[in-house]
Amino acid sequence: MLARIAWRNLLRGWRRSAVVLCAVSVGLFASLSLVAWGHGLLNQVVQTAVATRLSLLAIHAKGYQADPDVGLALADGGRQLAALVERFPGAHASPRALGDGLAQSARQNAHVTLVGVIPEAERRVSVVGNSIVAGDFPQPTPGGGVRALPGALLGSELADDLRVGVGEKIVLHAPGESGLGAFRVSGLFHSASPDFDKGTVFLRLEDAQRLLGVGDRVHEIAVALDDARALDRLDAFAKAELPRARPGEALEILTWQEREPRLASLLDLMSSTAWIAYATVFAGMAFGIANALLMSVFERIREFGVLRSLGLQGRQLVELVLLESLILTLGGAALGVGLGVAFVLVLGHTGVSGDAFAGAGVLSVGPRVYPRLESGDWLSPFALAVVTAALAAIWPAVKAARLRPAEAVRHI
């Protein structure tokens, strides 16, 4: 009975109800859109970082993360460790030799990071293999001939800075006695990270090892997964199995969150930001809902007096006003969330231009950003809606419950 009365009361003042309903809906729609944009942007930043300079899991010699010294390397070219970690279902490993260097052309020079890889393994781990826009990874150096130079794969922005193209010669310098060599540009890649493209040179593993003077050692084993959700299980597997396989070698096994805690904290911050956005919307809406209900109570003082005279208790009047508040708030929340989720699903498929963030330092994103929502992003507004409805209804409900039937019936 109270639900029917509450519904009819809202319909009777439909203009006021529609205004409050629209305000809640529009506020939630805007909040969901912004939260989805933030999630999409940050997730793409993370994916770009993991697919370029980081990896889901990295294996180093102990201490390399804090001090990436060329001397802190893994023996045996990392082959045993790579084979062992690939026993985990869906895991792929790529040994890398890493070092700082200087790339020099006939026109310019630039500070770079030298990355020695096995091309077939690197294609399964990083995005570089799918980002090649000209040429390819370096091939084994043919013997003999004046043009028999080892190859180097450059980022497109680095190639622009050096003013070189595929087939042209560059000289790479690395610290140490053997750290000098001529190379021929075998290909160019273009990823979503301008900084990565501008400062990275990929060599074949044996060429990088010779240039860096590390023999058959590597500095990192980068690990990728077919299903990134299995990262925690892979981390536990690696930390349990790898030290047993190489008891005499101190290993450092880190997930991308452990390597880049600031980037991981941005994702955690995004979840908190979603709650703040929703709470701000509902805090503003609470005053509008309370105002609408209070005006409704003042307009129906005589009606409430008649109901009290007929035996309706004060507690039931409180429930009536609370029901009206719940219907308004939950209705607006359902409409806003429905519109927001539909809008995000469309944008999540088509994407939004990310040109505004191109070259924006840490915000390395692709040409399009794909907004997305986590499960809690559209469930939490309903929980906040119930709390808001209850808080907004307190004052009007108490006002209605305190009416004296004799005085309320005579109210004009």
β-bridge mates for residue 356, sequence order: none
> What pLDDT does residue 364 have?
60
CB 396 within 8 A of CB 328: no
Taking the alpha carbons at both ends of the chain, their separation in whole angstroms is 26
My answer on whether 276 and 246 are in the same domain is no
My answer on whether 253 and 319 are in the same domain is no
My answer on whether 226 and 303 are in the same domain is no
pLDDT in tens, 27-50: 888 888 888 888 888 888 888 888
Q: How confident is the model at residue 83 (pLDDT cuts 50, 70, 90)?
A: very high
For β-strands 57-61 and 169-173, DSSP reports them as unpaired
My answer on whether 131 and 36 are in the same domain is no
The pTM of this model reads 0.75
Mean pLDDT of 6-24: 82
* Residue 197: closest CA among 206, 187, 207, 205: 187
Mean pLDDT of 140-159: 82
CB 411 within 8 A of CB 348: no
Q: How far apart are CA 396 and CA 21, in angstroms?
A: 18
- Give the residue from 221, 244, 259 where a domain finishes: 259
Range of the domain at 106: 55-259
Q: 247 by DSSP, 3-state: which?
A: coil
Query: Position 336: which residue type?
Result: G
> What pLDDT does residue 143 have?
62
* 177 DSSP assignment: T
> What pLDDT does residue 187 have?
97
Q: How confident is the model at residue 299 (pLDDT cuts 50, 70, 90)?
A: confident
Q: How far apart are CA 168 and CA 306, in angstroms?
A: 94
DSSP run (H or E) holding 103: strand 91-104
My answer on whether 72 and 44 are in the same domain is no
My answer on whether 103 and 209 are in the same domain is yes
- Give the residue from 243, 259, 275 where a domain finishes: 259
Q: How far apart are CA 363 and CA 377, in angstroms?
A: 23
Q: How far apart are CA 283 and CA 286, in angstroms?
A: 5
Q: How far apart are CA 225 and CA 91, in angstroms?
A: 5
CB 129 within 8 A of CB 222: no
My answer on whether 149 and 77 are in the same domain is yes
Structure tokens at 126: 């990083």
Strands (E) across 209-331 are located at 220-225, 251-255
- Give the residue from 259, 291, 322 where a domain finishes: 259
Mean residue pLDDT of the chain comes to 85
My answer on whether 240 and 101 are in the same domain is yes
Query: Position 226: which residue type?
Result: D
* pLDDT greater than 90 at residue 134: yes
Structure tokens at 328: 């308004």
My answer on whether 253 and 287 are in the same domain is no
Q: How far apart are CA 132 and CA 119, in angstroms?
A: 12
My answer on whether 61 and 123 are in the same domain is yes
Name the least confident of 196-200, 265-269, 341-345.
265-269
My answer on whether 379 and 301 are in the same domain is yes
Q: Which residue has the higher pLDDT, 26 or 96?
A: 96
Q: Look at the chain and report how many structural domains it folds into.
A: 2
Task: Report angle CA 205, 136, 227 to the nearest 5 degrees.
Answer: 75
- How far is the CA of 128 from the CAs of 115, 155, 205, 396, in angstroms? 12, 9, 15, 62
For 270-298, give one letter per residue: b (16+ CB within 10 A) or e.
beebbeebbbebbeebbebbbebbbebbe
* Residue 393: closest CA among 302, 304, 329, 299: 329
My answer on whether 39 and 131 are in the same domain is no
Q: Which residue has the higher pLDDT, 42 or 59?
A: 59
Q: How far apart are CA 408 and CA 295, in angstroms?
A: 15
